[in-house]
Amino acid sequence: MKGEIFAIGTELLMGELHDTNSPYIAGELSLLGITVERVTQVGDNLKDLAESFSIALARSDYIFTTGGLGPTQDDLTREAIAVSLGEKTTVSSKLLEELEDWFKARDMKMPERNIKQAVLIPSARSIPNKMGTAPGWFIEHNEKIIVAMPGPPDEMQNIWVNEVLPLIKARIKKSVILTKTIKTLNLSEAEVAELVAIFFGIENPSLGIYAKQDGIHLRIISKAATKAEAMNLMGTVEEGIAKKLGSHIWGYDDDTPEEMAGRALADRGLTIASMESCTGGLLSSVLTDVPGSSDYFKGGLICYDVDSKLENGVPDNIISNYGAISRETALAMAKAARKKFKADIGIGVTGVAGPGKQERKPVGTVFAAISMDGKDRNFAMKLPPRRPIVKRRAVVAILIELTRVLKEPSRRPT
Amino acid sequence: MKGEIFAIGTELLMGELHDTNSPYIAGELSLLGITVERVTQVGDNLKDLAESFSIALARSDYIFTTGGLGPTQDDLTREAIAVSLGEKTTVSSKLLEELEDWFKARDMKMPERNIKQAVLIPSARSIPNKMGTAPGWFIEHNEKIIVAMPGPPDEMQNIWVNEVLPLIKARIKKSVILTKTIKTLNLSEAEVAELVAIFFGIENPSLGIYAKQDGIHLRIISKAATKAEAMNLMGTVEEGIAKKLGSHIWGYDDDTPEEMAGRALADRGLTIASMESCTGGLLSSVLTDVPGSSDYFKGGLICYDVDSKLENGVPDNIISNYGAISRETALAMAKAARKKFKADIGIGVTGVAGPGKQERKPVGTVFAAISMDGKDRNFAMKLPPRRPIVKRRAVVAILIELTRVLKEPSRRPT
């Protein structure tokens, strides 16, 4: 089955507003077995839109649009669909009533221009929009489907999950589609691709590779008539990949480094504190992005210069013997943080974020350490020499290493 | 003049990889007076691509493509352009030599498949790509321009700035286009739009409004035959807007809150330290995103719980009288940070990032304070009740307020 997506609105063509709806829909459709052949961003122009829809109807089974459902003169998606299908729009008294109620509930009188949001064409049924005034349209026409959705991403996703997805699933013959994302660290895209090359030729399950901020991701999609069969297909490839990539795999699907670390801390009832230099507070900030992190995060220190490191418990002789940017200082920082905040675990991180070298060490050199009862661990990184990347990658690597340490049974500190 | 952009590659249609090239090019074109009418993401399919280019040639003056210039069988942009123009591709011996040199310089032998990156058609000249093996194409054909660029964003932007932009500027009749972005805080998009409504009807200079993470931005674009005239047009509207928005304006063009604050600190030779609660280290991290921030950033503390606030210099009676989430505690935190790190300025921030209420204060309540010689200042915020937004918005507001305080002559602390 072929699909096509339109993001409608002149503001999308100015370069300021990025279209996030189309990638969202494209990702969802790939899981439904609908192949997206084209994504088009087009302005608020009736003729352009109507022509585009006519061409799309000739070549695609499913057409999805976002935007252009507002109450202003510029909002022309409904009108253009009507033109491309040769149908007439009429005001639906039921929709009009719902719209008036929407305004009434907010102590407002419905402006006259909003009437245009209550129109329908014969082949369209309306899709309720609980978050705004623009209902969507679900159209069946000569075995083709057109779905028109509002442009604000939260309204669109709400409608997608609650209204559109069930309608499409019901329409698609029941085949089971399973997906799994495997997340790796410390390998380049080319290295991952080479290691799992033998799985790329297979059509089902299919395999995709994506470079992300937290490493290289692999996505497996398996399709079959039954769930058992789909799981079986998936399992074979997943096992094969796990064997090839081994300990480079750090997580699956929606796992994030900070949530995994947080869960591992909460599971074991341990608390944590940090002393950061080159990451400048990003480690603490990412740790505390997780709701409920106040249960395990005791506190953090950002000690940018040598003096503040010394004043906060890093021994003088460590820095003078090994330098501020060293494994030894990272470990001393971890220990100092742990002691200062009376935490079970301390993290220390020091390095060169750039733009210039420090202590003759190149930009991207980072040392990190984890200190806990019965076990101290430290490690070195050599990251791409760009300030934001050094900070971000160092934090990801530390959180993944922390999770690993917490899950090692032999490292159990209590 | 009408423009059209194609982002080429099946991976763009899976929802995993977002197309950032097209918004970049669209933004650049709007400054050149080229109106983008359509952006299309399309897969690696020769027939689809050739048809799309033919249709685009009929309606647009400028066509820009990114992607599909690699050495593999899937890379079909060159071939599709040749088909749409009815021209034949031939290997250019000059390009082939350059390509072989590129590999030689890296101690590699050029794989045979890379030969396809050395082809040209009669109406194309090659655009050098210093960052990769894929040269671009610049095509003039019946008064239409097609520019084919590689897909990796850094290669594309490098080629754009150094090669493509000069060629297009030289081609466009010399009219001067000036732009200015005005950045505001603490007003909604609707409020800004209403305040400056009278300027929206004007065609030149034109005005755009954009909701961003750091507030609402207005962009003015003025066009004229001479620079003086363009500046004059711009000046009138800019002044009018400044009068309407007053102190809600915090910056212009490429200004970021952290760079402005950093510059203001460096200009006055002052140092800074922070104690954060609800922002969890994000303030320190954003402050230290600026290269050279080690000159003024003395250190930071993240004190999530009451104990660590008390241990780091926040007086007991302040917290017991006013609560941990209060103006008074924010100020006490600012003073404690300043003292602890021996900095000229201290920042304190405490609030409710969510998901739950604290001290019966709703999510989004944030108190911040700035302490410096001769002047302490504190302020309250009521932010949208979502954790990442609370953190981000609080940091932006603090940095903007800090910049303001530093620029007030009467507040001069030394």
The span from the CA of B105 to the CA of B323, in Å, is 66
Confidence of residue A330 (pLDDT cuts 50, 70, 90): very high
- pLDDT-above-70 percentage for chain A: 98
Reported as half-sphere exposure (CB side, CA atoms, 13 A), residue B226 has a value of 3
- pLDDT value of residue A349: 98
- Going through A128-193 in order, the beta strands assigned E by DSSP cover 136-141, 144-149, 176-184
Give B-chain residues touching A292 at CB under 8 angstroms: 355
- pLDDT value of residue A73: 80
Confidence of residue A54 (pLDDT cuts 50, 70, 90): very high
Instruction: Quickly list DSSP for B355-392.
Output: SS-BTTBPTTEEEEEEEETTEEEEEEEE--S-HHHHHH
Instruction: Quickly list DSSP for B216-236.
Output: EEEEEEEEESSHHHHHHHHHH
- pLDDT value of residue B374: 81
Q: How many CB pairs under 8 A join A and B?
A: 199
In chain A, what are the domains?
A: 2-171 (3.40.980.10), 176-252 (3.30.70.2860), 257-411 (3.90.950.20)
Give A-chain residues touching B40 at CB under 8 angstroms: 38-41
The span from the CA of A129 to the CA of A160, in Å, is 10
Element (H, E) at B126: strand B124-127
pLDDT for A170-190, tens place per residue?
888 767 888 899 999 888 877
B398 near A CB under 8 A? no
| DSSP 3-state of B151 | coil
pLDDT of A244 over the 90 cut = yes
The span from the CA of B8 to the CA of B119, in Å, is 19
Closest alpha carbon to A351 in A311, A312, A378: A378
Residue B144 to chain A, least CA–CA distance (Å): 20
For all residues of chain A together, what is the average pLDDT?
91
- pLDDT value of residue A397: 94
B31 near A CB under 8 A? no
The span from the CA of B139 to the CA of B127, in Å, is 10
The span from the CA of B57 to the CA of B37, in Å, is 13
- pLDDT value of residue A147: 98
Element (H, E) at B307: helix B306-311
A29 near B CB under 8 A? yes
Give A-chain residues touching B391 at CB under 8 angstroms: 285, 289
- pLDDT value of residue A385: 84
A245 near B CB under 8 A? no
What is the 3-class SS of A211-277, one letter each residue?
Answer: EECCEEEEEEEEEECCHHHHHHHHHHHHHHHHHHHHHHEEEECCCCHHHHHHHHHHHHCCCEEEEEC
Query: Any idea how long chain A is?
Result: 414
B359 near A CB under 8 A? no
Give A-chain residues touching B219 at CB under 8 angstroms: 16
Specify the amino acid at residue A104: K
A304 near B CB under 8 A? yes
Cis bond leading into B205, ω under 30°?
yes
B387 near A CB under 8 A? yes
Letter string b/e over residues B12-24, b meaning 16 or more CB atoms within 10 A of that residue's CB:
bbbbbbbbebbbb
Confidence of residue A412 (pLDDT cuts 50, 70, 90): very low
A355 near B CB under 8 A? yes
Q: Where are the alpha helices (DSSP H) in B15-171?
A: 21-32, 46-59, 77-85, 93-104, 153-159, 165-171
Closest alpha carbon to B132 in B165, B156, B164: B156
The pTM score is 0.76
The span from the CA of A36 to the CA of B7, in Å, is 14
pLDDT of A12 over the 70 cut = yes
- pLDDT value of residue A174: 65
Residues 36-65 of B with CB under 8 A from A: 36-43, 45, 48
Per the CB < 8 A criterion, the answer to whether A218 and A192 are in contact is yes
Residue A410 to chain B, least CA–CA distance (Å): 31
Ranked by mean pLDDT, the top range of A125-134, A196-205, A313-322, B206-215 is A313-322
Choose the closest CB to B42 out of A38, A289, A388: A38
Choose the closest CB to B17 out of A16, A18, A210: A210
Q: For every one of its 414 residues, what pLDDT tens digit does chain B have, with 9 covering 90 and above? A: 899 999 999 888 988 788 999 999 999 998 888 999 999 999 989 999 999 999 999 999 999 999 999 888 888 999 999 999 999 999 999 999 998 998 888 788 888 888 999 999 999 999 999 888 889 999 999 889 999 999 989 899 999 999 999 999 888 876 788 889 999 988 887 788 889 989 987 888 988 888 777 888 998 988 888 889 999 999 999 999 999 999 899 999 989 999 999 999 999 999 999 999 999 999 999 999 999 999 999 999 999 899 999 999 999 999 999 999 999 999 999 999 999 999 999 999 999 998 888 999 999 999 999 999 988 999 999 988 889 889 999 999 999 999 999 988 754 444
